[in-house]
Amino acid sequence: GVILVTGANGFIAGHIIDQFLAAGYTVRGTVRSPSSGSKVRELHAKYGDKLEIAIVPDLTKVESYENALQDVVGIMHTASPVDLSASDNEKELLIPAIQGVTALLKASKKWATSLKRIVFTSSFAANINVPEGYRPGYTYTSEDWNPVTYAEGATADPVSAYCASKTLAEQAAWSFIKEEKPSFDLVSLNPAWVFGPHFAPTTPALDLKHLNESTQALWKVVDADTVPPVDFAAAVDVRDVARAHLLAFETPAAGGNRFLLAEHFSYQLAADIAREQVPELAGRVPVIEQGKEQTPATYYAVDGSKPTEILGLKYRPITDTIRDAYAQLAAVEKVA
Ligand code: NDP
């Protein structure tokens, strides 16, 4: 059987593909263009033909998936726009996110006759209640839902609109399962900010000016005048997120569940780690201003224990995640 990974050239997908290949699976990655496909093949060259590429030019069209779904037993659906500064909410965020997962589900019901499970890469964005803000004293769990509506998402600020796109896409997926009763089931993984090194056998050829959204959020702390205000007070390691996809596919009891993947995070924590643990960056990160300390008690807490209980996922300490991410970025900068 084949594992289909949509958005194969993405930050998280790089690690998902590596971990499934390392576990012995055959993986088929979908990308929008042949040039993205070649890059993905190159990144995982070690596994040769165990990695196949399928071109899906438009993820919102059911027909685009017909050939990609042959012999597929599991789908990791990561493809979705991650952009916290979109200008057209519906066109850039809501439509590709919602219609993307809906088209994939319809196509799967039609053509993926051996499919057992779809693991949907949702987000903490689908759990958080954005207007509630920092919400000290509140603890988010896997069961929380962002209450946003489509109409609100269509006109909201870009961050809220991204959160709406993830919420409504996840809801569309659960509705499909409930109403269409396909022979496969669904698991939703809801990671907070995903940080950590990009998957790459050597120093990756990253363009520091065009980083994926979460890596960019971390990198902007370097050379900043002040520590940025907290946007999302939670994060998780990209390698743990990838492992959660593998475990979610392989654990029978995971079916029908949502899993919040999160530990406490703040930009002060990121700045302190960079200063203390990444010598190349030590002199380039701001110190938090007195009276503005980003202590955990200022923010909501996150309970990410469900993936540990049901999937057996062990979290890497978030301090290691941040250190490893910065160490890779510093190495990339040196080569560039
Ligand atoms: P990347 O930006 O690195 O990857 C996104 C992937 O989705 C790329 O393959 C991209 O393809 C594809 N994609 C985006 N928009 C479209 C579109 N309109 N049509 C077709 N493909 C598209 O992001 P991440 O790896 O960080 O994110 C992967 C998933 O994880 C997303 O679903 C995201 O919401 C979720 N997530 C990410 C978090 C984070 O902090 N990074 C946190 C929580 C959830 P292309 O290169 O062709 O645009």
For the domain that residue 53 is a member of, what is the CATH number?
3.40.50.720
pLDDT digits (tens, 9 = 90+) for 271-304: 999 999 999 999 999 999 999 999 999 999 999 9
pLDDT digits (tens, 9 = 90+) for 208-236: 999 999 999 999 999 999 999 999 999 99
Residue entry with tokens 């059911």: 62
- For residue 118, name the pLDDT band (cuts at 50, 70, 90): very high
In contact, 119 and 187? CB cutoff 8 Å: yes
Q: Is the pLDDT of residue 182 over 90?
A: yes
Annotated active-site residue 109? The verdict is: no
In contact, 221 and 267? CB cutoff 8 Å: yes
CA–centroid distance, residue 308 to ligand 1 (Å): 25
Instruction: Please give the residue range of the domain that contains residue 46.
Output: 2-335
CA–centroid distance, residue 156 to ligand 1 (Å): 20
| Nearest-atom index, ligand 1, CA of 193 | 40
CA–centroid distance, residue 76 to ligand 1 (Å): 12
> What pTM, to 2 d.p., does this model score?
0.98
Q: Is the pLDDT of residue 270 over 90?
A: yes
209 burial type by CB count under 10 A (0-12 exposed, 13-18 middle, 19+ buried): exposed
CA–centroid distance, residue 183 to ligand 1 (Å): 27
In contact, 329 and 276? CB cutoff 8 Å: no
What is the reported pLDDT for 336?
79
pLDDT digits (tens, 9 = 90+) for 36-52: 999 999 999 999 999 99
Written as six digits, the tokens of 194 are 């995903």
Best residue among 60, 78, 213 to mutate for probing ligand 1, ranked by most atoms within 8 Å of CB: 78
Q: For residues 160 and 145, what is the distance between their CA atoms, to the nearest angstrom?
A: 14
| Nearest-atom index, ligand 1, CA of 166 | 34
196 within ligand 1 shell (Cβ under 6 A): no
| Nearest-atom index, ligand 1, CA of 217 | 40
39 within ligand 1 shell (Cβ under 6 A): no
189 within ligand 1 shell (Cβ under 6 A): no
What is the reported pLDDT for 110?
97
Q: For residues 56 and 282, what is the distance between their CA atoms, to the nearest angstrom?
A: 43
153 within ligand 1 shell (Cβ under 6 A): no
**Given the residues 50, 166, 306, 314, the one annotated as active site:** 166
Written as six digits, the tokens of 142 are 């896997």
70 burial type by CB count under 10 A (0-12 exposed, 13-18 middle, 19+ buried): middle
Q: For residues 289 and 268, what is the distance between their CA atoms, to the nearest angstrom?
A: 10
The tally of domains found in the chain comes to 1
